[in-house]
Chains A and B, each alone.
Chain A
Amino acid sequence: MATPSPRRFLFLVSCSPWQPRAQALLDLLMTTAVLDQEVHLCFWGDGVLHLLEQQDGTDLQLKTLARQLPALELYGVTHVYAEREALHRHGLDTNALLLPSPTLLDQAGLRQLMQQCEIVEHCG
C-alpha cells in the first residue's frame, strides 16, 4: 500500500503562552509533526508573546510552555512565522526571540499562507 503524502498543516497561535489552550495546541502540533506531516507554525497577535526569552513559571508553580519551543526543530518543525506588526506593538526585538529568525508576515502574507495549507488549527 502506498504511503499517503504528507498534508500541510498550519497552526495559528494568537493567544498568550499562559492560556491553557496554547498548551493543547502545542501538543497537537507535536503529534502532527511526529506523524511526518508538514507543519507550519505562525504566531499572530498576542501569540508573538510566546517568543519572549527567559520565561519562567517556576515561582508560580506553572509549566513553562516556552521551554518546549526550541525543541520543535527536533520534531521537524522548521516553518515558523510571526506577525511583524505584533512584534513591533509589543516592543519585541526580532534579534532576541526564543526561536531565531521566524519569517515575518503581514496580513497579506498570512492570507497566502492559509491558502497554501490544507488544514488550519487556530488557538486564539
Chain B
Amino acid sequence: MNTLFVLNRHDTDTLAACQACLHAGDALLLMEEAVYLLLDKRDVVQSIDNFPAFALSGDLVARGISAKIPPRVECVDYAGFVALTLRFDRIITW
C-alpha cells in the first residue's frame, strides 16, 4: 500500500520519524511550515533521496523560498495536491 506522507511542521524530529516509516513507493509532501525544512542544511532532502518529494507552491511563495529549494523537489499547487491524494492508497499527516 503506497502512502503519501504529509508534513506541515518545521520540525526535523518529525521528519526523522516520518523518514523511518517510508517504504518503496511512498512519497513525501511538505506544506505550511514544513517547507522551511528545505532550507535547513540540504542534507534534510538528501536523507529522503530515494523517495519522491513534493512541496506546496503557495507555501513556498509565501515564505520567499521558491528559488531556494533543491531541484529534485517538485512544486505542486492545490490541484496537484489533490491529484497526489488520489494517486496514493493512503495519506498520513504528521
Cβ contact within 8 Å between A49 and B36: yes
Interface residue count on the B side (C-beta < 8 Å):
19
Main secondary structure of the interface of A (DSSP, over half): loop
Closest A residue to B33 by CB, please name it. Answer: A16
When the two chains form the complex, which single residue of A17, A18, A59, A91 contacts B68, counting CB atoms closer than 8 Å? A91
Cβ contact within 8 Å between B36 and A16: yes
Interface residue count on the A side (C-beta < 8 Å):
20
Which A residues from 47 to 86 make CB contacts under 8 A with B?
A: 49, 52-57, 59-60, 62, 64, 66
- The interface of chain B, by Cβ under 8 A from chain A, is 10, 32-33, 36, 39-42, 57-59, 61-68
- The interface of chain A, by Cβ under 8 A from chain B, is 16-18, 46, 49, 52-57, 59-60, 62, 64, 66, 89-92
